[in-house]
């Protein structure tokens, strides 16, 4: 949170109570990949007067600052998770086609593919988004 506050400050933004509350909900729900509306519902429990537009503006800002990562699980809404600055590329997600559960893959293992792409396509990779669809341990 201290790190995040200084990122905001460095960029000329304030850590308002709404932004702090939004961040705390996301920090306390790691691995949940919350949608904007889910974040809104949670934040409302401590800040009942907050508006949905504020949550939209906050997650957009936090994404631009690299604090959040926007996820797309093909369900028609944006979802967010904390960015992990120690990982230089986003991690992958496993999405169960039966129950919808989403889990994370810590292994990257894309080095050789990315080298091949750099070599064969002359394309400089900065980041990637990788989703695997299939059946989770409970549904397979």
Partner DNA sequence: ATCTTTGCAAATGCTTTGCACATTC
Partner DNA sequence: GAATGTGCAAAGCATTTGCAAAGAT
Question: Where do contacts with a copy of itself occur on this chain (CB under 8 A)?
Answer: 72, 74, 94, 96-97, 103, 105, 107, 109-110, 112-114, 116-117, 120-137, 140
The partner in contact with residue 29, picked from DNA, a copy of itself, none with C-beta cut-offs of 5 to 8 angstroms by kind, is none
The partner in contact with residue 100, picked from DNA, a copy of itself, none with C-beta cut-offs of 5 to 8 angstroms by kind, is none
66 near DNA, judged by CB under 7 A: no
The strand order across the sheet containing 34-35 reads 34-35, 79-82, 68-71
Alpha-carbon distance of 61 to 45, in angstroms, equals 22
Which residue do the tokens 């919350």 mark?
A: 34
Alpha-carbon distance of 132 to 19, in angstroms, equals 32
**Residue 104: strand pairing partners:** 93
Q: How far is the CB of 4 from a copy of itself (least distance, A)?
A: 24
Alpha-carbon distance of 47 to 15, in angstroms, equals 15
57 near DNA, judged by CB under 7 A: yes
Q: Which residues bind to DNA, rule: CB under 7 A?
A: 12-19, 35-37, 47, 49-54, 56-58, 60, 76-78
């Amino acid at each position: 949170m201290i790190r995040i506050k200084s990122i905001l400050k460095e960029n000329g933004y304030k850590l308002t109570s709404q932004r702090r509350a939004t961040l705390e909900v996301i920090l306390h729900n790691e691995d949940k990949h919350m949608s904007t509306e889910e974040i809104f519902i949670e934040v409302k429990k401590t800040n009942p007067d907050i508006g949905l537009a504020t949550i939209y503006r906050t997650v957009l800002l936090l994404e631009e600052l690299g604090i959040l990562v926007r996820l797309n699980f093909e369900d028609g809404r944006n979802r967010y998770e904390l960015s992990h600055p120690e990982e230089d590329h986003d991690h992958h997600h496993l999405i169960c086609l039966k129950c919808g559960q989403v889990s994370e893959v810590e292994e990257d293992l894309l080095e050789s593919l990315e080298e091949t792409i750099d070599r064969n396509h002359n394309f400089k990779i900065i980041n990637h988004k990788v989703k695997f669809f299939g059946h989770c341990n409970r549904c397979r």
